[in-house]
Amino acid sequence: MSQEYYELLVLAARYVFALLGVIVVWRATRWLRQDYRQRRWVMSALPDAGYIGTLYVMEGQSKHLSPDDSLPLPTEGLLGCGAGCDVRVLHPTVSRRHAMFEFRTDGLHLRPYRDERLQVDGHPLPQGCEAILNHGAILTLGGVMLQLRLFAGVQAITAFEPEPEPAKGERA
Amino acid sequence: MKSTKNESPIRLLVSAIVLFEAITLLLIAIKPPFLNTEALMLAVALPLLCWISTILLPKFVPMDQLLMALTNFLCGVGIIILYSIVPERGLRQALLFALGLGAMMAGVLFVRWIRNWKTLCWLMIPASIGLLLLPIAVGVWNNDVKNIIAMRWFGNFQPSEIVKLMAMLVLAHFFSQRRGIRRKLPALLFVAACLGVLLLQRDLGTALMYYLTALAMYFVSTGNGLISLLGLVGAAVSAVVAYHIPGFAYVRVRVAIWRNPWDTALGSGYQIIQALMAIGSGGLWGLGLGLGLPRIIPAYHTDFIFAVICEQFGLVFGVCVVLVYVALLARGFSIALRARRSFYALLAFGCTTLLGIQTFVIIGGVIKMIPLTGITMPFVSYGGTSLVSCLTLIGFLHGVSARIEADTEQDIAIVEASEDTYDYDYDYDDDDDEYDDEDDWEVAEA
Amino acid sequence: MKAMRRNMRLIVAIVMCLFVGLFAYFSYSVYFYGGRWFNNPYNPRLNTQRQAVRPGTVMDRDGEPLAFTDSGGTRRYARDNNTRRAVSHVIGDNAGNVNGVETFHAQYLLGFKTSILERLAQVFQGGERRGDDIYLTLSAKLNTYISRNFPSGRSGAVVILNYRTGDIYAMVSKPDFDPNRIDVAKREEGGSSLLNRATQGLYPPGSTFKIVTQAAALNNLPNARSRPYDCSGALEVEKSVVTEAGNNVHGNVTLQEAFAKSCNVTYSQLALELGYDRMNTEAAAFGLGDNFLFRDLVVYNSIYPTDKRSADDLAWSGLGQGRVLVTPLHMAMTAACIANNGVMVEPRLLRQVTGPQGQRRLLGAPRPYRTALSPETAAALRADMVAAVSTGSTGSGARIRGFTVGGKTGSAEAADDKTIQPHAWFVGFVDDPNHPLAIAVLVEFSGSGGQVAAPLARRFLQRAIDLGL
């Protein structure tokens, strides 16, 4: 093939490449959009998706909170009345960020945010300590009493290995 | 129940990529005067690799299809451009790409299965510092930057790329849901040490990248806007200071040629001017693959490969390449936002931000939006360690995505299990629902 | 986790904004500067292309060839010596010494604009590859005439353009050079003859800048037209004294008379009254301070500096002295704007570009660059400029029988040394729809604008009219 014809071929191919590039971008955006929509569908079809259980309000009355309420509990997050919290306990005695929790194989690890007061099963939690809660444990934040209820089947989830914390852990 | 895996057809996307790779390599192969069998081989091997990794592999190993396809596209563009200019480089890049896919696999499994990050992270810190210090001892100067170790049979090896991976894991681990500066201190000191070593090597671009990513990860994990802003301001101040310190003459040179390269058109401004001319020469559709004069652009195979893309393939294609990067980032960020645990979220976020900042800085430098920094374009630039480490970063993203998929499947299993339990034990007496629920919980507790 | 996600979304938004900025900057810089990056003497691709393609011919508006490649592959210029020198700056050269049409429009001349279908046709027909032919808006005859009648031994520039369409009919820069002997020109006087003074020479406009001051006064001071002005022959500012040329005292004058007589005292007073900001706004309306990115040619930017303010600087700036700098082409555009009802049209150099098989390339239509004045103000200024030529003492040298000519002379001091003569300026227009001409004449260091530049303008405009432009 002579040089000239090859050059013509290359010049014609330019448009093909541009077209292919545009196709790649277009399909990628379409994939992202469809993925987003599917994710939303999954989340709405499984309202409990992402949550490992609930915190059942046993005591504690306020404008937005009353006994028998169930607060959904995700795998990891913040507990408090502030807007950035994963579990919002809307009660005046609860701090904006009251506690941090993380679910692991051996239960729900809970520790106060700064120097907030917590009670587990009636016993006050010493400062700097972390509590490990299992299903049915009672947690008291200020004037609110919550009971941990894990979904059946959550117990089978494997997660991190338990980390030895500098402070003592209290089994509930 | 509808499966949670995104089954939307990726086929057209992959077909477009496969077609692109095949046509370009065929074109290179039939270039007169003689048939290039090596290119012909590549024309078969590369699309095959693409198809295997995007369609076949996800059936066995949990991988995110879009990420795979887009990285294939970008790496393919790099291989093709390099091959058309210097075949040896293109071939080497292709081999390293295959190697990188293996590293990506390892990255996926690493992230998916490792549980105990703590000891691993404490091990990685001294290893990283050691690796970073290595070039100072035995390394070679590369432009003004001393960050490469030349190994005889291996080629050039850049330790800072490996450290990049370890730094991501270390930062993600130490920043995840830990309250208090005290817990984060090891990570912060580690970052400071890395930055210090990088500054010693005068690799300012990489230092900037690491710093901004670490800052972003810090902000995300603590939400402390004030300190993050102070960090940004601190970076800006130190940049201004560096501009005036005598030891950093090349910073002044870089800023000068950013402002007006035409003054030193044959001297220090030569690089950026040639790059701009290349971009201008391409026009909308490019000069054509193999036509044009890519070789006259200095560092065409590393820093300025984007200019070569614009020259040969045109602006439309160049913009598409940038949009592919953006799509990659979008996917990485969406993975980060969906993760359940803070470690995975931070890992995915850090990897994506790092890639994003790197891409922005290099493309911004090539089009003269910001001064040049010496960073290369991820996936496309020539460079073995860089390619492998970027692919491993993507592997981390795959891993996090795989974890999310596993978690979502568990959710479905839980819901179905609850329903099953419910149905199995209590399939009559609907009025006793409340009571039966309580019984159910007590059974589980026991 | 929720807090973490929210923070992540913020960073994601920032990163996406960064990329949007990237796209915006990319599009902007490639759209405006892409051509300049490409059509650049430092671009080796042009040379490579030159070896494969026979460059096209550059002709004037009547088809007279000004640059062509002969069968041996050498680039040749106009046969007639005078013509060759007259258009030397506009044509430029291939080696990057002068940025003219040869370099700036290399993408046409070297065939970069041939489409793939044309290439196909050319390959099948077996001809040689050729670039596009360019027809300039220039009139070679007019340029030659101007070049021959410019005062010998003097430097300067002349620009004549069409104020409706922006077509440049003549652009002559003196001293000129012979493109066939460009090495000689490079050595002489440090290559000063290679500079295109019409587009790249920055000079103080002198009294021609009073057009801008007048416009500023009419726009901002409500009774500027009606109130009387008293010229005592001298105006004391803080550190300097503004005097008249030839130590004249004009006495009581109207605004139009002050304009026609080019009264320095009046205009420095007006400038002081208007202040930097209003003067700057008016100057900006006329395009000073703009980054000229014209499609057809490179023009250096004019400036009206507003840093380092002082009363003296302000007063002198109203007279076009001080630190104000303009190019002759820009002054021609200014005169054109006033003749064209306040609309400044973009200057054009390309009349037509045809491909090797005769197909016409798409060039942009003539388009307005700026609207500097309202039609009323433009009409007022037009009347003032016509008065300056018909009745005034300064511009009378530019009168042409049978035509209404408007203009403004200027004598721009360019050195503190009083023995060095000022630059002689004349900017003006012919108010006739059949001959919509605007002109700027600049003769360096030659004396009074009225005595040196205005008569030249008359001859050049007369010649242009005779040629039917």
Give residue B419's pLDDT.
59
Give yes or no for a contact between B82 and B90, defined as CB atoms under 8 angstroms apart.
Answer: yes
The mean per-residue pLDDT over the stretch C157-163 comes to 95
3-state secondary structure of A79: strand
Are the C-beta atoms of residues C98 and C92 closer than 8 Å to each other?
yes
Order the strands of the C75-77 sheet from edge to edge.
Answer: C75-77, C65-69, C58-59, C133-136, C350-354
- Burial of B397 (C-beta count, 10 Å sphere; 0-12/13-18/19+): buried
Q: Is the pLDDT confidence value at C222 over 60? A: yes
- Per the listing, tokens 């035509």 go with C403
Assign B144 a pLDDT band (cuts: 50, 70, 90): low
What is the distance in angstroms between the Cα of C245 and the nearest Cα belonging to chain B?
41
Tell me, yes or no, whether B188 lies in a domain.
Answer: yes
Contact B418, B113 (CB under 8 A): no
pLDDT of res. A172: 35
| Sign of the Cα pseudo-torsion (B201, B204, B209, B213, in order) | positive
Point out the residue among C2, C6, C116 whose CB comes nearest to the CB of A77.
C2
Please give, rounded to a whole number of angstroms, the shortest distance from the CA of B136 to a CA of chain A.
38
- C162 contacts C469 by C-beta, under 8 angstroms: yes
Tokens linked to A31: 């994939």
- Bridge partners, residue C371, by sequence: C343
Pick the more confident residue, B436 or C174. C174
- Residue A78 contacts C, CB cutoff 8 Å: yes
Residue B392 structure tokens: 């491993």
CATH class of the domain at C206-349+365-466: alpha beta
Taking CB atoms and an 8 Å limit, are B277 and C4 in contact across chains? no
Which run of H or E residues covers position A87?
Answer: strand A87-88
Contact present, A146 and A57 (Cβ < 8 Å): yes
- For chain A, say whether C123 makes contact (Cβ under 8 Å): yes
Residue B146 falls inside a structural domain: yes
Q: Among B284, B142, B257, A97, which residue's Cα sits nearest to residue C34?
A: B284
Nearest by CB to residue A84, choosing from C2, C116, C119, is C2
Query: Considering CB atoms only, which of C1, C6, C119 is closest to A8?
Result: C119
> B252 lies in a domain?
yes
Instruction: Considering only the beta carbons, identify the residue of C4, C30, C44 that sits closest to B220.
Output: C4
Q: What residues in B contact C5, CB-CB < 8 Å? A: 337, 345
Which residues in chain B have their CB less than 8 angstroms from residue A161's CB? 115-116
Q: What gap in Å lies between CA B230 and CA B246, rounded to an integer?
A: 26
Establish if B270 belongs to a structural domain.
yes
Instruction: Tell me the shortest Cα–Cα distance from A169 to chain B, in angstroms.
Output: 16
Which residues make beta-bridge pairs with B263? none
Higher-confidence residue: B79 or C126?
Answer: B79
State which amino acid sits at residue C336.
A
The pLDDT of residue B122 is: 80
Q: Smallest Cα–Cα separation from B326: which of B378, B285, B385?
A: B378
Spatial distance between the Cα atoms of B12 and B15, rounded to a whole number of angstroms: 5
CA distance A2 to chain B (A): 7
Maximum distance among all alpha carbons in chain C?
A: 87
**What are chain A's partners, defined as 3 or more CB pairs within 8 angstroms?**
B, C
C429-464: per-residue pLDDT in tens?
A: 999 999 999 999 999 999 888 889 999 999 999 999
C423 beta partners: C412
Confidence of residue A92 (pLDDT cuts 50, 70, 90): confident
What is the distance between the alpha carbons of residues B141 and B195, in angstroms, rounded to a whole number? 18
Q: Which of B215, B220, B229 to mutate to test the interface with C (most CBs of C within 10 A)?
A: B220
C2 touches chain A (CB under 8 A): yes
Query: What phi, psi does B367 have (nearest 5°)?
Result: -90, 10
The yes-or-no verdict on residue B421 having pLDDT over 60 is: no
Q: How far apart (Å, rounded) are the C-alpha atoms in residues C112 and C132? A: 9
Cα separation of the two ends of chain B: 31
Give the confidence band of C147 by pLDDT, cuts at 50, 70, 90. very high
- CB spacing of B280 vs C1 below 8 angstroms: no
| Residues B331, B334: Cα–Cα separation, whole Å | 5
> Rounded to whole angstroms, how far apart are CA atoms C278 and C273?
10
Q: Is A133 on the interface with C (CB under 8 A)?
A: no
User: Cα B165 to chain center, whole Å?
Assistant: 10
Chains adjacent to C (≥3 CB pairs closer than 8 angstroms): A, B
Number of structural domains (chain B) is: 1
Chain C hits for B338, CB-CB cut-off 8 Å, are: none
Most B-contacting residue of A16, A27, A78 (CB-CB within 10 A), to test interface: A27
Could A35 and B66 be called an inter-chain contact, meaning their C-beta atoms sit closer than 8 Å? yes
Kind of pairing between the strands at C423-430 and A76-80: unpaired
pLDDT-wise least confident of B55-69, B348-362, C75-89: B55-69
Residue scoring higher pLDDT (B115 or B282): B282
| Contact between C1 and A12 using a beta-carbon 8 Å cutoff | no
3-class DSSP state of C216: helix
Is the four-CA dihedral C275, C278, C283, C288 of positive or negative sign? positive
Contact between residue C319 and residue C262 where contact means Cβ atoms under 8 Å apart: no
Residues of B in contact with A21 (CB under 8 A): 20, 313, 316-317, 320-321
pLDDT band at A21 (very low <50, low <70, confident <90, very high): very high
Q: Is A170 on the interface with C (CB under 8 A)?
A: no
- Among the residues of C87-222, which ranges form H helices? 88-91, 101-104, 106-109, 116-125, 140-149, 182-187, 197-200, 210-220
Closest CA to C106 of C173, C36, C32, C185: C36
The least confident of B13-27, C119-133, C328-342, C371-385 is C119-133
Amino acid at A20: L
**Percent of chain C, pLDDT > 90?**
57
pLDDT score of B79 more than 70: yes
Q: Environment class of residue C321 by beta-carbon count within 10 Å: exposed (0-12), middle (13-18) or buried (19+)?
A: buried
User: Is the CB of residue A19 less than 8 Å from the CB of residue B19?
Assistant: no
SS3 B327: helix
Task: Give residue limits of the domains in chain C.
Answer: 206-349+365-466
What is the rounded CA–CA span in Å between residue B205 and residue B373?
5
Which long-range contacts link B40-48 to residues 24+ away (Cβ below 8 Å)? B42/B79, B42/B83, B42/B90, B42/B91, B42/B94, B45/B94, B46/B21, B46/B22, B46/B76, B46/B79, B46/B94, B47/B17, B47/B18, B47/B19, B47/B21, B47/B22
Q: Does the CB of B10 have a partner CB in chain C at under 8 Å?
A: no
* CB < 8 Å to C120, chain A: 8
Q: What is the pLDDT of residue A63?
A: 83
By residue range, what is the domain housing residue B310?
113-419
The backbone torsions φ and ψ at residue B323, rounded to the nearest 5 degrees and listed phi first, read -65, -30
- Asked if the model's pLDDT at residue B411 lies above 80, the reply is no
Per DSSP, the residues of C22-74 read HHHHHHHHHHHHHHHHHS-TT-HHHHHHHHHSB---EE-TT--EEEEE-TTS-
Q: What pLDDT digit, counting tens, does each position of B176-223 carry?
A: 856 666 777 888 888 888 888 888 777 788 888 999 999 999 999 888
- Write out chain A residues lying below 8 Å of C6, CB-based: 84
For residue B416, the distance in angstroms to the closest alpha carbon of chain C comes to 26
Q: Are A35 and B334 in contact (CB under 8 A)?
A: yes
Cβ A17–B415 below 8 Å, yes or no?
Answer: no
Tell me the C-alpha distance between B280 and C95, whole Å. Answer: 19
- Range of A124-138, C66-80, C137-151 with top mean pLDDT: C137-151
Please check whether residue B421 touches A, CB under 8 A. yes
Is the pLDDT assigned to residue C119 strictly greater than 90?
no
Per-residue pLDDT band for B154 (boundaries 50, 70, 90) equals low
| pLDDT level of residue C183 (50, 70, 90 thresholds) | confident
Residues B174-186 as b/e (b if ≥16 CB within 10 A, e otherwise) read bbbbbeeeeebee
Do strands C58-59 and C133-136 pair parallel, antiparallel, or not at all (unpaired)? parallel
Q: How far apart are CA B274 and CA B297, in angstroms?
A: 5
pLDDT band at A171 (very low <50, low <70, confident <90, very high): very low
DSSP notation for B377-395: -TTTSS-HHHHHHHHHHHH
Adjacent-strand bridge partners of A71: A55
Q: What is the C-alpha to C-alpha distance for residues C127 and C349, in angstroms, rounded to an integer?
A: 30
Do C123 and A8 make contact, defined as CB atoms within 8 angstroms?
Answer: yes
Asked if the structure places residue B13 within a domain, the reply is no
Burial label, C239 (beta-carbon count in 10 A; 0-12, 13-18, 19+): exposed
Q: Is the pLDDT of residue B427 over 70?
A: no
B259 or B337: which leads in pLDDT = B337
Q: Compute the distance between CA of residue B168 and CA of residue B173 in angstroms, rounded to an integer.
A: 8
Res C393: pLDDT: 74
Which site among B414, B418, B423, B436 would you substitute to test the A interface, given the most A Cβ atoms closer than 10 Å to its Cβ? B414
pLDDT in tens, C28-44: 999 888 888 888 888 88
Tell me which residues of chain C, numbers 6 to 45, contact chain A at a CB-CB cutoff of 8 Å: 6
pTM: 0.86
Q: Quick check: A77 contacting C, CB < 8 Å?
A: yes
pLDDT band at B435 (very low <50, low <70, confident <90, very high): very low
**Is B281 part of any domain?**
yes
